[in-house]
Amino acid sequence: QEIRKVVQALEQTAREILTLVQGVHQGPGFQHIPKKCQKAREHFSTVRTQMESLKTKFPADQYYRFHEHWRFVLQRLVFLAAFVVYLESETLVTREAVAEILGIEADRERGFHLDIEDYLSGVLTLASELARLAVNSVTAGDYSRPLRISAFINELDSGFRLLNLKNDSLRKRYDGLKYDVKKIEEVVYDLSIRGLNKEATVGAGGEK
């Protein structure tokens, strides 16, 4: 019961962060990315406090016995942390960095930790969000962003291909990545057909 209460509080904080960062998809949202990321970072301090509370609700060696209670919200929080880091630096957040943002351990031996499969699930959700961002970037007149998103997602896809995914739900989520790659490729192709990718390269400081 006590675990459920803390998990509900975490879910509420996750919803608040999601509402905040999804504002980047709206027209003027692109101009406010740094401000939105900063506000999201402030919400993550609440997440860390809630995680501290969650750790006290069960014996440290029984993590996997209760894992199902917080698995979904933890994956959602991984995605949100990964999205904020991507918006800030256009890089993939490491598992260690996510664990630090959430105030938990990366190493299983050290107690309440970020399970590798929860991390990977969160990263796959990021891919879907970036596919959506690529489409909305064009609507907002930002033609260089889809090219950068495409390069990032292709690299992510190459990384996942190296993994031997045995977990069924993770495997299904990975299958969805192919559609995200295809969706982004279509956006880039459309820009190319309309000659907007050249404009994007020049705008990004290239010489093509």
- Annotated domain spans of the chain: 1-114, 116-198
1-114 CATH fold: Methane Monooxygenase Hydroxylase; Chain G, domain 1 (1.20.58)
Query: Does the annotation flag 129 for ligand binding?
Result: yes
Q: What percent of the chain has pLDDT over 70?
A: 93
Instruction: In whole angstroms, give the CA distance from residue 166 to residue 139.
Output: 39
Same fold, 1-114 and 116-198: yes
Q: How confident is the model at residue 205 (pLDDT cuts 50, 70, 90)?
A: very low
Which range, of 7-11, 38-42, 162-166, 171-175, averages the lowest pLDDT?
162-166
The helix/strand/coil state of 113 is strand
Tell the residue number behind the tokens 């993994």, with chain if given: 163
Q: What integer is the mean pLDDT of 124-144?
A: 93
Token pair of 149 as six digits: 């998103």
Of the candidates 19, 18, 36, 28, the one whose C-alpha atom is nearest the C-alpha of residue 136 is 28
Secondary-structure class of domain 116-198 per CATH:
mainly alpha
Instruction: In whole angstroms, give the CA distance from residue 138 to residue 162.
Output: 31
Collect all residues with Cβ–Cβ distance below 8 Å to 20 and sequence separation of at least 6. 36, 39, 40, 43
Model confidence, pTM: 0.91
